[in-house]
Structures are given as C-alpha cells and as structure tokens.
C-alpha cells in the first residue's frame, strides 16, 4: 500500500499531467486550422471546449483514484478540497499554456 505522500503526489501529478496534455491537444488542434478560416472569438470558444473535454476526461481518472484511496477514512477527506484546488490550479495553468505563442 503506497504511503500518503506517494498517493498525494500521484493525484496532484496526475492533474498536472492532465493540464499539460490538454494544452498540447489544443495547441495541435489549433495549429491545424488555416488562418483564413479562423474567427478568433469562435476559435477561442471551440478550443476552450476542447480543453474542457480533454482535461475533464483525464482528470476523472485521478479524481476516481483519490476517492478510492480515501474511502472509509473520514480523517483524510480533508484532502479533497486540496485536490479540488490542485485541479483548478492545473486547469488555469493549461489556459496560460494555451495563450503562449506557438
């Protein structure tokens, strides 16, 4: 059974990886759209939806892992807000990465 520190690192690292991979997916998708066909507001909304989909899909795995490890341990449910904060922070990090020029 992994230690608490290893579990926490696995979950937080998973959220970080989800944010980075989601930003990479959006960057690749955006690079494939010709400049003549881009309406910047519509493209930004579409890319944000793609980011939500990619991040949400990958973050569900780590959220499920967190809930599995915390089941039956009421004391440790205090980590759940920290995991939510990590998810929000990595989500925001992905948006900043998307804003970087290619």
Residue with token string 């690079």: 31
Query: pTM to 2 decimals?
Result: 0.64
Pinpoint the alpha helices (H) of the chain: 4-31, 40-70, 79-99
Residue 65, Cα to own-chain centre: how many angstroms? 15
CB 29 within 8 A of CB 43: no
pLDDT tens-place values along the chain, 102 residues long: 678 888 888 888 989 999 999 999 988 988 877 776 667 777 778 888 889 889 988 888 888 887 787 777 766 677 778 888 888 888 888 777 777 776
């Amino acid at each position: 059974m992994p230690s608490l520190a290893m579990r926490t690192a696995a979950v937080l690292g998973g959220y970080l990886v989800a944010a980075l991979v989601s930003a990479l997916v959006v960057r690749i998708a955006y690079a494939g759209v010709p400049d003549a066909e881009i309406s910047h507001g519509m493209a930004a909304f579409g890319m944000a939806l793609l980011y939500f989909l990619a991040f949400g899909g990958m973050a569900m795995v780590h959220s499920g892992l967190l809930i599995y490890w915390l089941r039956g341990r009421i004391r440790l449910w205090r980590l759940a807000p920290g995991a939510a904060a990590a998810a929000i922070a990595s989500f925001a990090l992905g948006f900043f990465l998307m804003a970087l020029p290619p």
